[in-house]
Amino acid sequence: MLITPGARLALLAAAVPLAAALASPRGILAAGPGRADTGRGGTAIRVAAAASDPAVTVTTAPRTALAIIVNRNNPIASLGRRELRALFLGERTTWPHGRRVTLVLREPGVPERAAAVRLIAGMSEDDLARHFIHQTFSGAGASGPRALATADGVKRFVFNVPGAIGVIRAADLDDTVKSVRITGDGPTDPHYSLVVGES
């Protein structure tokens, strides 16, 4: 098959970002004709089908970071991913300073809750419900998160409950609560892991 100079340029231009996507932790998440989603940050690459037009258009969708929040008097400043998952799933029920852990999230069906369940626990909402049903009947841990309708409600709960831990969008953060760093990174850091790319 003969490859024209225009087609060769298009392939070379696409190779670098696509190779980076394959090397990333999330890889190529979804693809359609002429489009590949490369994961964090929602970067998309569109390769022109026509060999006569070698243009490659790169577009970036909004980046939504999730913030892990605790009471301002909680001395915890950073958590590892395993620690966070154990707190989220009720497998760890007390903080090192002795306070009981209480998880609070938005209600089921809210995008940031679904994202938190997937990114932190690696589960679907149904999987999470089954997990806490098992916890309840086995007496092995917490009975499940508190569910509140708004981000302001989550923040008020965390403000009033010393052992609370919650998840909200980083855009909803204010000084009534403390944002905890995850593996040393905060929501505005480039390598922060609790990020959702929106298309």
The reply to whether 39 and 128 lie within a common domain is no
Please count the structural domains in the chain: 2
The reply to whether 140 and 192 lie within a common domain is yes
Full domain range(s) for residue 46: 5-60
The reply to whether 71 and 43 lie within a common domain is no
Give the end of a domain, one of 31, 60, 89. 60
Q: What are the strands of the beta sheet with 56-60, ordered from one edge?
A: 31-32, 35-37, 43-47, 56-60
The reply to whether 184 and 106 lie within a common domain is yes
The reply to whether 24 and 86 lie within a common domain is no
pTM for this model (two decimals): 0.68
The reply to whether 50 and 94 lie within a common domain is no
**Which helix or strand (DSSP H or E) is residue 47 part of?**
strand 43-47
> Using an 8 Å Cβ cutoff, are 56 and 47 in contact?
yes
Q: pLDDT (tens digit, 0 to 9) for every residue of the chain, 199 residues total?
A: 454 555 444 444 444 444 444 444 444 334 444 444 434 444 433 433 434 455 555 455 577 999 999 999 999 999 999 999 999 999 999 999 999 999 999 999 999 999 999 999 999 999 999 999 988 888 766 778 999 999 999 999 999 999 999 999 999 999 999 999 999 999 999 999 999 874 4
The reply to whether 69 and 55 lie within a common domain is no
pLDDT at position 36, please? 41
